[in-house]
Amino acid sequence: MLYAATTGIYSLGVVLMSYEISRKIGNVGWLQLCFSGAIVGGIYLFHNTLQDVITVQLVVMMLLLLAVSIPFFRAQREVLSPQPEVGIPLADAFRSAGAMRKVRRVSEDEVISEFLKSEFYQPEFDRYREQFREIVTHPNLSNPAENELRRALLYRRRGRMWRELPVDTEWWQVELRTSDLPRIRVFPRNHWRKLANGNFYLTEMVDHIRARVGSHPSDTFVAKLRSLSDELASAPEHDSSVLLIGLDEEGPLTIIEGNHRMAAASLVSPQDIHLRFQFLCGFSPRMIECCWYQTDLSTLWRYARNFVAYLFEDPDLAIEQASQTRLSSDTGVGLSS
């Protein structure tokens, strides 16, 4: 019974740590290392019986769960705390903006393709970059085998994020107006929390971002924003895509891909930020079930279930299988022609 309780508590702690790592909340890696040392020390001191050993593990796991819960609940307090008023309340700003204009319906395959383009420079794709560069940079969206391979590639880095989106999510290209910008929130990861001061709406963070750039010129985060600002200054309009999620066209929208580019664009020309990108937005009345849109205990529990369900999935094997399917498909097309 003690061992089962220990395992359950540790499993919950792992889920919390995984979530915090994905959002870069705190530094749970060092925390886990310290508690691992505490287990070793505790067992060294109390090891007369098996029950003593398990009790040590249980106590340490309870302390670990408590420790990793603190950053999570602190983050929830920041996200769920009332937003400060800025001129007019944000709710009034939403109503005055009206519904966002939908330009066209887009497929999930197209959205995944755009997401992968933005992520393909990351080190997780080093071993695949040369082999699959062509299908990432020049996608053929009418090829099902290619689409499946791009999905497998994206899941290597962003599978946990993508699986949290409701299955009924509809993707649209939307047209943002200046009046739509106050409804856009950044994805609340660690360095954004330092800038947000409890308010994650991008238009309210611009002054904090500009102050950070001026006061911390050698900061890695600032260097990235400066580099992106320089690129955007000379880039054509709608050169890349920003991904948003929301309940509908009238409520708040959260950026799930493009935080840095949107922030950099706000430094270059805040009034034209909505003209610089193609905006792809996923709408679902169930988006509040997604922890990336609204984080609470129920959405975290959903994240935990998905985390366990795909815990032993091998993303490299999935990529290999999708690659073989694509090769077979291409070979079949070649033979038939």
| Tens digits of residue pLDDT in 41-85 | 766 676 667 776 677 677 777 776 677 666 655 555 544 444 444
Query: Residue 30 has what pLDDT?
Result: 53
* Gyration radius of the chain over CA positions: 23
Position 315 pLDDT exceeds 90? yes
CA distance 118 to 57: 43
CA distance 173 to 280: 4
Band (pLDDT 50/70/90 cuts) for residue 227 is confident
Position 25 pLDDT exceeds 60? no
Query: Residue 216 has what pLDDT?
Result: 77
Position 337 pLDDT exceeds 60? no
Query: Residue 220 has what pLDDT?
Result: 83
**Closest C-alpha to 13, from 71, 52, 82:** 71
2 versus 236: which is more confidently predicted? 236
CA distance 83 to 198: 7
Band (pLDDT 50/70/90 cuts) for residue 290 is very high
Residue 258 φ/ψ region, left for φ over 0, alpha for ψ in the -120 to 50 degree band, beta for the rest? left
Strand intervals (E) in 93-213: 101-106, 170-175, 184-185
53 versus 114: which is more confidently predicted? 114
Position 248 pLDDT exceeds 90? yes
Query: Residue 274 has what pLDDT?
Result: 79
Band (pLDDT 50/70/90 cuts) for residue 2 is low
Position 278 pLDDT exceeds 70? yes
319 versus 206: which is more confidently predicted? 319
270 versus 94: which is more confidently predicted? 270
Position 90 pLDDT exceeds 80? no
Question: What burial class does residue 49 get, using C-beta atoms within 10 Å of its C-beta: 0-12 exposed, 13-18 middle, 19+ buried?
Answer: exposed
